Amino acid sequence: LRRNPAEPEFHQAALEVFESLGPVLERHPEYAEAAVLARLCEPERQIIFRVPWVDDEGRVQINRAFRVEFNSALGPFKGGLRFHPSVNLGIVKFLGFEQVFKNSLTGLPIGGGKGGSDFDPRDRSDGEVMRFCQSFMTELYRHIGEYTDVPAGDIGVGGREIGYLFGQYKRITNRYESGVLTGKGVGWGGSLVRTEATGFGTVLFADEMLKTRGASMDGQRVVVSGSGNVATYAIQKAHQLGATVVACSDSSGYVVDESGIDVELLRQVKEVERLRIQVYAERRGGGATYVDGGPVWEVGATVALPCATQNELEPRDVKSLLDAGLVAVAEGANMPTTPEAVRMLQAADVLFGPGKAANAGGVATSALEMQQNASRDAWSEEFTEARLTDIMIGIHERCAATADQYGLPGDYVAGANIAGFVPVADAVLALGVV
Ligand code: NDP
Protein backbone atom coordinates (compact mmCIF):
# COMPACT_ATOMS: atom_id res chain seq x y z
CA LEU A 1 0.00 0.00 0.00
CA ARG A 2 2.89 2.35 0.81
CA ARG A 3 4.46 1.78 -2.57
CA ASN A 4 1.23 2.52 -4.43
CA PRO A 5 -0.55 5.42 -2.70
CA ALA A 6 -3.75 6.85 -4.19
CA GLU A 7 -4.60 3.64 -6.05
CA PRO A 8 -7.70 2.48 -4.13
CA GLU A 9 -9.07 0.27 -6.91
CA PHE A 10 -5.76 -1.57 -7.20
CA HIS A 11 -5.65 -2.10 -3.43
CA GLN A 12 -9.24 -3.36 -3.52
CA ALA A 13 -8.50 -5.86 -6.29
CA ALA A 14 -5.30 -7.13 -4.65
CA LEU A 15 -6.85 -7.50 -1.18
CA GLU A 16 -9.81 -9.36 -2.65
CA VAL A 17 -7.45 -11.97 -4.11
CA PHE A 18 -5.22 -12.17 -1.04
CA GLU A 19 -8.19 -12.76 1.26
CA SER A 20 -8.75 -16.05 -0.57
CA LEU A 21 -5.16 -17.26 -0.58
CA GLY A 22 -4.55 -18.13 3.12
CA PRO A 23 -5.33 -21.85 2.70
CA VAL A 24 -3.21 -22.06 -0.48
CA LEU A 25 -0.17 -20.54 1.19
CA GLU A 26 -0.57 -23.01 4.06
CA ARG A 27 -0.50 -25.94 1.63
CA HIS A 28 2.29 -24.40 -0.48
CA PRO A 29 4.88 -22.71 1.74
CA GLU A 30 7.18 -22.52 -1.30
CA TYR A 31 5.06 -19.66 -2.69
CA ALA A 32 5.72 -17.47 0.35
CA GLU A 33 9.41 -18.46 0.49
CA ALA A 34 9.87 -17.32 -3.10
CA ALA A 35 7.94 -14.05 -2.53
CA VAL A 36 5.42 -15.01 -5.20
CA LEU A 37 2.76 -12.59 -3.92
CA ALA A 38 5.17 -9.66 -3.94
CA ARG A 39 6.20 -10.58 -7.46
CA LEU A 40 2.57 -10.75 -8.60
CA CYS A 41 1.79 -7.32 -7.13
CA GLU A 42 4.58 -5.53 -8.94
CA PRO A 43 3.91 -5.16 -12.68
CA GLU A 44 6.77 -6.28 -14.91
CA ARG A 45 6.62 -2.95 -16.74
CA GLN A 46 4.48 0.22 -16.56
CA ILE A 47 4.45 2.62 -19.47
CA ILE A 48 2.99 6.12 -19.21
CA PHE A 49 2.96 8.36 -22.25
CA ARG A 50 1.61 11.59 -23.66
CA VAL A 51 -0.86 11.50 -26.56
CA PRO A 52 -0.93 14.76 -28.51
CA TRP A 53 -3.58 15.21 -31.21
CA VAL A 54 -5.51 17.96 -32.99
CA ASP A 55 -9.30 18.30 -32.61
CA ASP A 56 -11.79 19.36 -35.30
CA GLU A 57 -11.40 23.03 -34.33
CA GLY A 58 -7.65 22.84 -34.89
CA ARG A 59 -6.83 22.94 -31.16
CA VAL A 60 -4.04 20.79 -29.75
CA GLN A 61 -5.29 18.27 -27.18
CA ILE A 62 -3.12 16.34 -24.75
CA ASN A 63 -4.16 13.08 -23.10
CA ARG A 64 -2.32 10.72 -20.82
CA ALA A 65 -2.07 7.03 -21.67
CA PHE A 66 -0.93 3.86 -19.94
CA ARG A 67 0.05 0.29 -20.64
CA VAL A 68 0.69 -1.85 -17.59
CA GLU A 69 2.37 -5.13 -18.51
CA PHE A 70 1.55 -7.02 -15.37
CA ASN A 71 2.66 -10.60 -15.66
CA SER A 72 3.87 -12.72 -18.57
CA ALA A 73 4.63 -16.01 -16.81
CA LEU A 74 1.91 -17.87 -18.75
CA GLY A 75 2.15 -16.09 -22.11
CA PRO A 76 2.35 -12.67 -23.75
CA PHE A 77 0.71 -9.84 -21.82
CA LYS A 78 -2.96 -9.77 -22.83
CA GLY A 79 -5.73 -7.37 -21.85
CA GLY A 80 -7.83 -4.51 -23.12
CA LEU A 81 -7.46 -0.78 -23.61
CA ARG A 82 -9.95 1.54 -21.89
CA PHE A 83 -10.70 5.05 -23.16
CA HIS A 84 -12.66 6.89 -20.47
CA PRO A 85 -12.08 10.15 -18.56
CA SER A 86 -11.82 8.20 -15.28
CA VAL A 87 -8.73 6.24 -16.42
CA ASN A 88 -5.62 6.66 -14.27
CA LEU A 89 -2.71 4.43 -13.29
CA GLY A 90 -4.56 2.87 -10.32
CA ILE A 91 -7.53 1.89 -12.49
CA VAL A 92 -5.28 0.34 -15.13
CA LYS A 93 -3.33 -1.56 -12.45
CA PHE A 94 -6.50 -2.97 -10.87
CA LEU A 95 -7.66 -4.13 -14.28
CA GLY A 96 -4.24 -5.57 -15.16
CA PHE A 97 -3.98 -7.42 -11.85
CA GLU A 98 -7.43 -8.98 -12.32
CA GLN A 99 -6.51 -9.88 -15.86
CA VAL A 100 -3.56 -12.05 -14.77
CA PHE A 101 -5.83 -14.40 -12.80
CA LYS A 102 -8.69 -14.28 -15.30
CA ASN A 103 -6.41 -15.23 -18.17
CA SER A 104 -4.94 -18.06 -16.13
CA LEU A 105 -8.47 -19.34 -15.41
CA THR A 106 -9.19 -19.70 -19.13
CA GLY A 107 -6.47 -22.37 -19.31
CA LEU A 108 -5.07 -20.63 -22.42
CA PRO A 109 -1.44 -19.46 -22.73
CA ILE A 110 -1.87 -15.74 -22.02
CA GLY A 111 -0.32 -13.43 -19.43
CA GLY A 112 -2.05 -10.32 -18.11
CA GLY A 113 -1.88 -6.61 -18.85
CA LYS A 114 -4.14 -3.61 -19.37
CA GLY A 115 -3.97 -0.11 -20.77
CA GLY A 116 -5.91 2.94 -21.75
CA SER A 117 -6.21 6.66 -21.66
CA ASP A 118 -8.27 9.44 -20.10
CA PHE A 119 -9.46 10.28 -23.62
CA ASP A 120 -13.27 10.33 -23.90
CA PRO A 121 -14.45 9.10 -27.31
CA ARG A 122 -18.07 10.04 -26.56
CA ASP A 123 -19.10 13.24 -28.41
CA ARG A 124 -15.93 13.11 -30.52
CA SER A 125 -16.16 12.90 -34.31
CA ASP A 126 -14.86 9.88 -36.22
CA GLY A 127 -11.95 11.98 -37.43
CA GLU A 128 -11.00 13.00 -33.89
CA VAL A 129 -11.17 9.40 -32.66
CA MET A 130 -9.00 8.32 -35.58
CA ARG A 131 -6.36 11.00 -34.96
CA PHE A 132 -6.28 10.16 -31.27
CA CYS A 133 -5.89 6.42 -31.97
CA GLN A 134 -3.12 7.08 -34.48
CA SER A 135 -1.20 9.25 -32.03
CA PHE A 136 -1.76 6.68 -29.24
CA MET A 137 -0.39 3.86 -31.41
CA THR A 138 2.57 5.98 -32.55
CA GLU A 139 3.95 5.51 -29.04
CA LEU A 140 2.41 2.15 -28.10
CA TYR A 141 3.59 0.22 -31.17
CA ARG A 142 7.15 -0.15 -29.84
CA HIS A 143 5.91 -2.01 -26.74
CA ILE A 144 3.49 -4.51 -28.28
CA GLY A 145 3.60 -7.52 -30.58
CA GLU A 146 2.22 -10.98 -31.16
CA TYR A 147 4.78 -12.51 -28.77
CA THR A 148 5.09 -9.63 -26.28
CA ASP A 149 1.85 -7.80 -25.55
CA VAL A 150 -1.52 -8.10 -27.30
CA PRO A 151 -4.06 -5.36 -26.46
CA ALA A 152 -7.82 -5.54 -27.15
CA GLY A 153 -10.92 -3.41 -26.41
CA ASP A 154 -12.61 -2.40 -23.18
CA ILE A 155 -14.80 0.57 -22.20
CA GLY A 156 -14.71 3.12 -25.03
CA VAL A 157 -12.66 0.87 -27.31
CA GLY A 158 -14.69 -1.18 -29.78
CA GLY A 159 -14.29 -2.29 -33.38
CA ARG A 160 -13.90 1.26 -34.71
CA GLU A 161 -11.02 2.10 -32.37
CA ILE A 162 -9.28 -1.27 -32.88
CA GLY A 163 -9.45 -0.62 -36.64
CA TYR A 164 -7.72 2.76 -36.36
CA LEU A 165 -5.14 1.35 -33.93
CA PHE A 166 -4.37 -1.62 -36.18
CA GLY A 167 -4.15 0.60 -39.26
CA GLN A 168 -1.54 2.79 -37.62
CA TYR A 169 0.43 -0.21 -36.28
CA LYS A 170 0.54 -1.69 -39.77
CA ARG A 171 1.60 1.60 -41.28
CA ILE A 172 4.44 2.25 -38.81
CA THR A 173 5.83 -1.28 -38.74
CA ASN A 174 5.11 -2.23 -42.36
CA ARG A 175 3.90 -5.60 -41.04
CA TYR A 176 0.46 -7.18 -41.36
CA GLU A 177 0.86 -8.67 -37.91
CA SER A 178 -2.73 -9.74 -37.22
CA GLY A 179 -1.88 -11.23 -33.83
CA VAL A 180 -0.83 -7.89 -32.34
CA LEU A 181 -4.39 -6.81 -31.45
CA THR A 182 -7.63 -8.70 -30.89
CA GLY A 183 -11.20 -7.56 -31.38
CA LYS A 184 -10.46 -6.90 -35.04
CA GLY A 185 -13.20 -6.85 -37.69
CA VAL A 186 -14.06 -10.25 -39.13
CA GLY A 187 -12.99 -9.16 -42.62
CA TRP A 188 -9.44 -8.25 -41.54
CA GLY A 189 -8.24 -10.87 -39.09
CA GLY A 190 -10.96 -10.82 -36.45
CA SER A 191 -12.77 -13.83 -35.06
CA LEU A 192 -16.46 -14.56 -35.31
CA VAL A 193 -18.13 -14.44 -31.87
CA ARG A 194 -15.41 -12.18 -30.34
CA THR A 195 -17.83 -9.22 -30.24
CA GLU A 196 -20.46 -11.27 -28.43
CA ALA A 197 -18.10 -13.37 -26.31
CA THR A 198 -17.93 -11.49 -23.01
CA GLY A 199 -21.68 -11.00 -22.69
CA PHE A 200 -22.49 -14.51 -23.95
CA GLY A 201 -19.93 -16.01 -21.57
CA THR A 202 -21.29 -14.13 -18.56
CA VAL A 203 -24.76 -15.54 -19.13
CA LEU A 204 -23.40 -19.04 -19.76
CA PHE A 205 -21.57 -18.80 -16.43
CA ALA A 206 -24.77 -17.65 -14.67
CA ASP A 207 -26.62 -20.58 -16.24
CA GLU A 208 -24.00 -23.04 -14.98
CA MET A 209 -24.24 -21.60 -11.45
CA LEU A 210 -28.04 -21.84 -11.51
CA LYS A 211 -27.87 -25.48 -12.65
CA THR A 212 -26.10 -26.36 -9.38
CA ARG A 213 -29.40 -25.47 -7.69
CA GLY A 214 -31.64 -27.26 -10.14
CA ALA A 215 -32.55 -24.02 -11.97
CA SER A 216 -31.36 -22.29 -15.15
CA MET A 217 -31.61 -18.93 -16.94
CA ASP A 218 -34.94 -20.07 -18.38
CA GLY A 219 -37.76 -18.04 -16.86
CA GLN A 220 -35.52 -15.64 -14.92
CA ARG A 221 -36.27 -11.93 -14.65
CA VAL A 222 -32.98 -10.20 -15.43
CA VAL A 223 -31.64 -6.68 -14.94
CA VAL A 224 -28.42 -5.64 -16.71
CA SER A 225 -26.40 -2.51 -16.04
CA GLY A 226 -24.75 -0.75 -18.98
CA SER A 227 -25.73 -0.90 -22.64
CA GLY A 228 -22.31 -1.28 -24.24
CA ASN A 229 -20.60 -4.30 -25.72
CA VAL A 230 -20.84 -6.64 -22.73
CA ALA A 231 -24.38 -5.63 -21.74
CA THR A 232 -25.82 -5.93 -25.26
CA TYR A 233 -24.69 -9.49 -25.84
CA ALA A 234 -25.49 -10.55 -22.29
CA ILE A 235 -29.05 -9.45 -23.02
CA GLN A 236 -29.09 -11.37 -26.30
CA LYS A 237 -27.84 -14.61 -24.73
CA ALA A 238 -30.18 -14.28 -21.72
CA HIS A 239 -33.12 -14.07 -24.12
CA GLN A 240 -31.82 -17.05 -26.11
CA LEU A 241 -31.80 -19.07 -22.88
CA GLY A 242 -35.40 -18.17 -22.06
CA ALA A 243 -34.93 -15.29 -19.60
CA THR A 244 -36.50 -11.83 -19.88
CA VAL A 245 -34.21 -8.84 -19.52
CA VAL A 246 -36.46 -6.06 -18.26
CA ALA A 247 -33.96 -3.20 -17.81
CA CYS A 248 -30.56 -1.85 -18.84
CA SER A 249 -28.75 1.46 -18.41
CA ASP A 250 -26.04 3.91 -19.36
CA SER A 251 -24.26 6.48 -17.21
CA SER A 252 -27.24 8.89 -17.51
CA GLY A 253 -30.16 6.63 -16.57
CA TYR A 254 -31.98 3.39 -17.32
CA VAL A 255 -34.83 1.98 -19.38
CA VAL A 256 -37.47 -0.46 -18.20
CA ASP A 257 -39.08 -2.65 -20.83
CA GLU A 258 -41.20 -5.33 -19.18
CA SER A 259 -41.76 -7.18 -22.45
CA GLY A 260 -38.00 -7.69 -22.79
CA ILE A 261 -35.29 -5.37 -24.15
CA ASP A 262 -35.31 -5.34 -27.96
CA VAL A 263 -31.64 -6.11 -28.74
CA GLU A 264 -31.82 -4.97 -32.37
CA LEU A 265 -33.20 -1.57 -31.34
CA LEU A 266 -30.63 -1.31 -28.55
CA ARG A 267 -27.79 -2.05 -30.99
CA GLN A 268 -29.14 0.49 -33.46
CA VAL A 269 -29.32 3.21 -30.80
CA LYS A 270 -26.10 2.50 -28.87
CA GLU A 271 -23.77 0.66 -31.24
CA VAL A 272 -24.69 2.07 -34.65
CA GLU A 273 -25.89 5.63 -33.90
CA ARG A 274 -23.94 6.04 -30.61
CA LEU A 275 -26.89 7.78 -28.89
CA ARG A 276 -28.07 7.71 -25.27
CA ILE A 277 -30.21 4.93 -23.80
CA GLN A 278 -33.06 7.44 -23.40
CA VAL A 279 -33.51 7.28 -27.18
CA TYR A 280 -34.29 3.55 -26.88
CA ALA A 281 -37.37 4.35 -24.76
CA GLU A 282 -38.45 7.12 -27.15
CA ARG A 283 -38.25 4.83 -30.18
CA ARG A 284 -39.81 1.83 -28.45
CA GLY A 285 -43.00 3.82 -27.94
CA GLY A 286 -45.36 3.07 -25.04
CA GLY A 287 -43.63 -0.22 -24.26
CA ALA A 288 -40.65 1.19 -22.41
CA THR A 289 -39.98 3.94 -19.91
CA TYR A 290 -36.81 5.94 -19.26
CA VAL A 291 -35.72 6.87 -15.73
CA ASP A 292 -33.11 9.58 -15.35
CA GLY A 293 -30.38 8.67 -12.85
CA GLY A 294 -30.30 5.28 -11.20
CA PRO A 295 -29.36 2.78 -10.11
CA VAL A 296 -30.94 0.29 -12.47
CA TRP A 297 -31.03 -2.29 -9.66
CA GLU A 298 -34.13 -0.65 -8.17
CA VAL A 299 -36.10 -2.31 -10.99
CA GLY A 300 -35.76 -5.67 -9.22
CA ALA A 301 -34.70 -9.04 -10.68
CA THR A 302 -34.01 -12.67 -9.90
CA VAL A 303 -30.71 -12.47 -11.84
CA ALA A 304 -28.54 -9.32 -11.86
CA LEU A 305 -25.79 -8.86 -14.44
CA PRO A 306 -23.60 -5.80 -13.72
CA CYS A 307 -21.99 -5.06 -17.11
CA ALA A 308 -20.94 -1.37 -16.91
CA THR A 309 -18.08 -0.45 -14.59
CA GLN A 310 -16.31 -0.98 -11.25
CA ASN A 311 -18.08 -0.53 -7.88
CA GLU A 312 -21.52 0.02 -9.38
CA LEU A 313 -23.43 -2.51 -7.26
CA GLU A 314 -23.51 -1.38 -3.64
CA PRO A 315 -25.02 -2.66 -0.38
CA ARG A 316 -28.19 -0.57 -0.81
CA ASP A 317 -28.67 -2.21 -4.23
CA VAL A 318 -28.28 -5.67 -2.71
CA LYS A 319 -31.06 -4.87 -0.26
CA SER A 320 -33.53 -3.90 -2.98
CA LEU A 321 -32.52 -6.83 -5.17
CA LEU A 322 -32.96 -9.30 -2.31
CA ASP A 323 -36.44 -7.90 -1.67
CA ALA A 324 -37.24 -8.65 -5.31
CA GLY A 325 -36.17 -12.31 -4.97
CA LEU A 326 -32.59 -12.23 -6.27
CA VAL A 327 -30.99 -15.67 -6.73
CA ALA A 328 -27.85 -15.00 -8.79
CA VAL A 329 -25.35 -12.29 -9.76
CA ALA A 330 -22.77 -12.76 -12.52
CA GLU A 331 -20.28 -9.96 -13.12
CA GLY A 332 -19.94 -9.02 -16.79
CA ALA A 333 -17.92 -5.95 -15.80
CA ASN A 334 -14.65 -5.98 -13.84
CA MET A 335 -15.12 -5.61 -10.06
CA PRO A 336 -18.60 -4.03 -10.36
CA THR A 337 -19.72 -5.27 -6.94
CA THR A 338 -18.25 -3.54 -3.89
CA PRO A 339 -16.59 -5.82 -1.28
CA GLU A 340 -19.36 -5.15 1.26
CA ALA A 341 -22.03 -5.95 -1.33
CA VAL A 342 -20.25 -9.24 -2.17
CA ARG A 343 -20.26 -10.21 1.51
CA MET A 344 -23.99 -9.43 1.74
CA LEU A 345 -24.77 -11.52 -1.33
CA GLN A 346 -22.78 -14.47 -0.05
CA ALA A 347 -24.35 -14.18 3.41
CA ALA A 348 -27.80 -14.28 1.75
CA ASP A 349 -26.77 -17.43 -0.16
CA VAL A 350 -27.09 -15.72 -3.54
CA LEU A 351 -25.02 -17.39 -6.27
CA PHE A 352 -22.21 -14.94 -7.03
CA GLY A 353 -19.95 -15.27 -10.09
CA PRO A 354 -16.97 -12.88 -9.87
CA GLY A 355 -15.84 -11.07 -13.02
CA LYS A 356 -12.53 -12.84 -13.33
CA ALA A 357 -14.48 -16.03 -13.96
CA ALA A 358 -17.82 -14.84 -15.33
CA ASN A 359 -16.48 -12.37 -17.90
CA ALA A 360 -13.46 -14.42 -19.02
CA GLY A 361 -15.24 -15.45 -22.23
CA GLY A 362 -14.07 -12.26 -23.95
CA VAL A 363 -10.38 -12.74 -23.39
CA ALA A 364 -10.70 -16.47 -24.04
CA THR A 365 -12.16 -15.74 -27.47
CA SER A 366 -9.40 -13.19 -28.02
CA ALA A 367 -6.96 -16.05 -27.45
CA LEU A 368 -8.94 -18.05 -30.03
CA GLU A 369 -8.56 -15.07 -32.39
CA MET A 370 -4.78 -15.23 -31.79
CA GLN A 371 -4.83 -18.97 -32.61
CA GLN A 372 -6.67 -18.29 -35.88
CA ASN A 373 -4.21 -15.48 -36.75
CA ALA A 374 -1.21 -17.70 -36.00
CA SER A 375 -2.54 -20.52 -38.19
CA ARG A 376 -3.93 -18.11 -40.85
CA ASP A 377 -7.28 -19.77 -40.45
CA ALA A 378 -10.86 -18.55 -39.86
CA TRP A 379 -13.20 -20.72 -37.85
CA SER A 380 -16.96 -20.94 -38.31
CA GLU A 381 -19.39 -19.28 -35.95
CA GLU A 382 -20.69 -22.65 -34.71
CA PHE A 383 -17.21 -23.97 -33.99
CA THR A 384 -16.07 -20.78 -32.23
CA GLU A 385 -19.19 -20.48 -30.12
CA ALA A 386 -18.90 -24.15 -29.17
CA ARG A 387 -15.31 -23.50 -28.02
CA LEU A 388 -16.50 -20.49 -25.99
CA THR A 389 -19.25 -22.58 -24.38
CA ASP A 390 -16.77 -25.34 -23.49
CA ILE A 391 -14.36 -22.79 -22.03
CA MET A 392 -17.06 -21.19 -19.84
CA ILE A 393 -18.28 -24.58 -18.62
CA GLY A 394 -14.63 -25.47 -17.89
CA ILE A 395 -14.04 -22.25 -15.93
CA HIS A 396 -17.20 -22.86 -13.91
CA GLU A 397 -16.14 -26.43 -13.16
CA ARG A 398 -12.62 -25.34 -12.17
CA CYS A 399 -13.94 -22.65 -9.80
CA ALA A 400 -16.52 -24.97 -8.24
CA ALA A 401 -14.10 -27.89 -7.87
CA THR A 402 -11.39 -25.67 -6.34
CA ALA A 403 -13.86 -24.19 -3.85
CA ASP A 404 -14.89 -27.74 -2.88
CA GLN A 405 -11.27 -28.83 -2.59
CA TYR A 406 -10.59 -26.03 -0.10
CA GLY A 407 -13.73 -26.73 1.94
CA LEU A 408 -15.67 -23.72 0.62
CA PRO A 409 -18.42 -25.25 -1.56
CA GLY A 410 -20.32 -22.72 -3.69
CA ASP A 411 -17.78 -19.94 -3.00
CA TYR A 412 -16.93 -18.90 -6.56
CA VAL A 413 -14.84 -15.96 -5.31
CA ALA A 414 -12.41 -18.23 -3.49
CA GLY A 415 -12.62 -20.83 -6.26
CA ALA A 416 -11.75 -18.31 -9.00
CA ASN A 417 -8.98 -16.63 -7.02
CA ILE A 418 -7.28 -19.89 -6.06
CA ALA A 419 -7.75 -21.63 -9.41
CA GLY A 420 -6.43 -18.53 -11.19
CA PHE A 421 -3.53 -18.03 -8.80
CA VAL A 422 -1.99 -21.52 -8.65
CA PRO A 423 -0.98 -21.89 -12.34
CA VAL A 424 0.55 -18.39 -12.35
CA ALA A 425 2.40 -19.02 -9.08
CA ASP A 426 3.76 -22.34 -10.37
CA ALA A 427 4.96 -20.72 -13.60
CA VAL A 428 6.56 -17.83 -11.70
CA LEU A 429 8.46 -20.34 -9.56
CA ALA A 430 9.51 -22.42 -12.55
CA LEU A 431 10.87 -19.44 -14.46
CA GLY A 432 13.23 -18.41 -11.64
CA VAL A 433 13.90 -14.93 -10.34
CA VAL A 434 13.39 -12.94 -13.54
P1 NDP B 1 -18.56 -0.19 -23.46
O2 NDP B 1 -17.80 1.06 -23.59
O3 NDP B 1 -19.01 -0.90 -24.69
O4 NDP B 1 -19.86 0.05 -22.56
C5 NDP B 1 -19.77 0.53 -21.26
C6 NDP B 1 -21.15 0.74 -20.70
O7 NDP B 1 -21.04 1.03 -19.31
C8 NDP B 1 -21.87 1.93 -21.32
O9 NDP B 1 -23.25 1.70 -21.29
C10 NDP B 1 -21.48 3.07 -20.39
O11 NDP B 1 -22.42 4.14 -20.37
C12 NDP B 1 -21.47 2.38 -19.04
N13 NDP B 1 -20.51 3.03 -18.15
C14 NDP B 1 -19.17 3.18 -18.37
N15 NDP B 1 -18.60 3.84 -17.36
C16 NDP B 1 -19.57 4.13 -16.50
C17 NDP B 1 -19.61 4.81 -15.27
N18 NDP B 1 -18.50 5.33 -14.71
N19 NDP B 1 -20.80 4.89 -14.65
C20 NDP B 1 -21.93 4.37 -15.20
N21 NDP B 1 -21.95 3.72 -16.37
C22 NDP B 1 -20.79 3.60 -17.01
O23 NDP B 1 -17.65 -1.16 -22.54
P24 NDP B 1 -17.71 -2.75 -22.40
O25 NDP B 1 -19.10 -3.20 -22.51
O26 NDP B 1 -16.68 -3.32 -23.28
O27 NDP B 1 -17.17 -2.94 -20.90
C28 NDP B 1 -18.05 -2.93 -19.77
C29 NDP B 1 -17.37 -3.62 -18.60
O30 NDP B 1 -17.02 -4.96 -18.95
C31 NDP B 1 -16.06 -2.99 -18.11
O32 NDP B 1 -15.97 -3.17 -16.72
C33 NDP B 1 -15.00 -3.82 -18.80
O34 NDP B 1 -13.76 -3.77 -18.12
C35 NDP B 1 -15.64 -5.19 -18.71
N36 NDP B 1 -15.14 -6.18 -19.64
C37 NDP B 1 -15.21 -5.97 -20.99
C38 NDP B 1 -14.75 -6.93 -21.86
C39 NDP B 1 -14.92 -6.81 -23.32
O40 NDP B 1 -14.67 -7.81 -24.02
N41 NDP B 1 -15.34 -5.68 -23.86
C42 NDP B 1 -14.11 -8.17 -21.36
C43 NDP B 1 -14.18 -8.33 -19.93
C44 NDP B 1 -14.66 -7.35 -19.12
P45 NDP B 1 -22.13 5.48 -21.21
O46 NDP B 1 -22.38 5.11 -22.63
O47 NDP B 1 -23.07 6.47 -20.64
O48 NDP B 1 -20.70 5.81 -20.94
Residues 326-330: what's their mean pLDDT?
A: 98
Q: What is the pLDDT of residue 285?
A: 83
Report pLDDT digits (tens) over 91-103: 999 999 999 999 9
The rounded Å distance from CA 276 to ligand 1 centre is 14
Residues 373-388: what's their mean pLDDT?
A: 98
Q: Is residue 283's pLDDT more than 90? A: yes
Q: Could you tell me the pLDDT band of residue 12, with boundaries at 50, 70 and 90?
A: very high
The amino acid at residue 428 is V
The rounded Å distance from CA 314 to ligand 1 centre is 17
Closest Cα to atom 32, ligand 1: which residue? 333
Counting ligand 1 atoms within 8 A of each CB, the residue from 154, 252, 273, 365 with the most, and so the one to mutate, is 154
Report pLDDT digits (tens) over 55-77: 999 999 999 999 999 999 999 99
Contacts of 20 (CB under 8 A, 6+ apart): 413, 414, 417, 418, 421
Q: Is 211 annotated as a binding residue?
A: no
Strand pairing partners for 306? 225
Is 106 strand, coil or helix? Answer: coil
Closest Cα to atom 40, ligand 1: which residue? 362
ipTM score of complex: 0.98
The rounded Å distance from CA 154 to ligand 1 centre is 7
Q: What is the pLDDT of residue 179?
A: 98
Lowest-confidence segment of 2-11, 158-167, 328-337 by average pLDDT: 2-11
Residue 227 CA, closest ligand 1 atom number: 9
Domains 8-18+40-176 and 197-358 share a fold: yes
Global pTM? Answer: 0.98
Q: Is residue 2's pLDDT more than 90? A: no
Could you tell me the sign of the dihedral formed by the alpha carbons of 187, 188, 194, 196, in that order?
Answer: negative
Lowest-confidence segment of 48-52, 131-135, 286-290, 362-366 by average pLDDT: 286-290
Q: Is 289 annotated as a binding residue?
A: no
Q: Is 99 annotated as a binding residue?
A: yes
Counting ligand 1 atoms within 8 A of each CB, the residue from 91, 309, 359, 363 with the most, and so the one to mutate, is 309
CATH number of 8-18+40-176: 3.40.50.10860
Q: Please state, rounded to an integer, the average pLDDT across all residues of the chain.
A: 97
Residue positions annotated with a catalytic role: 114
Which of 414, 409, 422 is closest to 28 using CA atoms? 422
What is the rounded CA–CA span in Å between residue 109 and residue 146?
Answer: 13
Write the CA distances from 3 to 12, 283, 387, integer angstroms: 15, 51, 41
Q: What is the pLDDT of residue 346?
A: 97
Q: Could you tell me the pLDDT band of residue 389, with boundaries at 50, 70 and 90?
A: very high
Closest Cα to atom 28, ligand 1: which residue? 308
Q: Does domain 197-358 have CATH number 3.40.50.720?
A: yes
Q: What is the pLDDT of residue 3?
A: 87
Q: What share of the chain in percent tops pLDDT 90? A: 98
The rounded Å distance from CA 173 to ligand 1 centre is 31
What is the rounded CA–CA span in Å between residue 114 and residue 157?
Answer: 12
Domain boundaries, the chain: 8-18+40-176, 197-358
Q: What is the pLDDT of residue 360?
A: 98
Q: What is the pLDDT of residue 131?
A: 98
Report pLDDT digits (tens) over 242-281: 999 999 999 999 999 999 999 999 999 999 999 999 999 9
Residues 289-303: what's their mean pLDDT?
A: 97
The rounded Å distance from CA 409 to ligand 1 centre is 31
Q: Is 153 annotated as a binding residue?
A: yes
Which of 263, 274, 268, 264 is closest to 234 using CA atoms? 263
Report pLDDT digits (tens) over 172-217: 999 999 999 999 999 999 999 999 999 999 999 999 999 999 999 9
Q: Where are the alpha helices (DSSP H) in 35-125?
A: 36-41, 89-105
Closest Cα to atom 4, ligand 1: which residue? 228
Q: What is the pLDDT of residue 243?
A: 98
Q: Is 198 annotated as a binding residue?
A: yes
Closest Cα to atom 30, ligand 1: which residue? 333
Residue 332 CA, closest ligand 1 atom number: 30
- Which residues approach ligand 1 with their CB closer than 6 A? 84, 86, 153-156, 158, 198, 226-231, 250-252, 307-309, 332-334, 359, 362
The rounded Å distance from CA 307 to ligand 1 centre is 6
Q: Is residue 320's pLDDT more than 80? A: yes
Q: Please report how many Cα atoms fall inside a 13 Å half-sphere around the Cα of residue 95, on the Cβ side.
A: 32
Cis peptide before 43 (omega within 30 of 0): no
Q: Is residue 1's pLDDT more than 80? A: no
Q: Could you tell me the pLDDT band of residue 428, with boundaries at 50, 70 and 90?
A: very high
What is the rounded CA–CA span in Å between residue 112 and residue 79?
Answer: 6
Closest Cα to atom 15, ligand 1: which residue? 309
The rounded Å distance from CA 122 to ligand 1 centre is 12
Q: Please report how many Cα atoms fall inside a 13 Å half-sphere around the Cα of residue 357, on the Cβ side.
A: 31
Q: Is residue 319's pLDDT more than 90? A: yes
Residue 366 CA, closest ligand 1 atom number: 40
Q: Is 225 annotated as a binding residue?
A: no
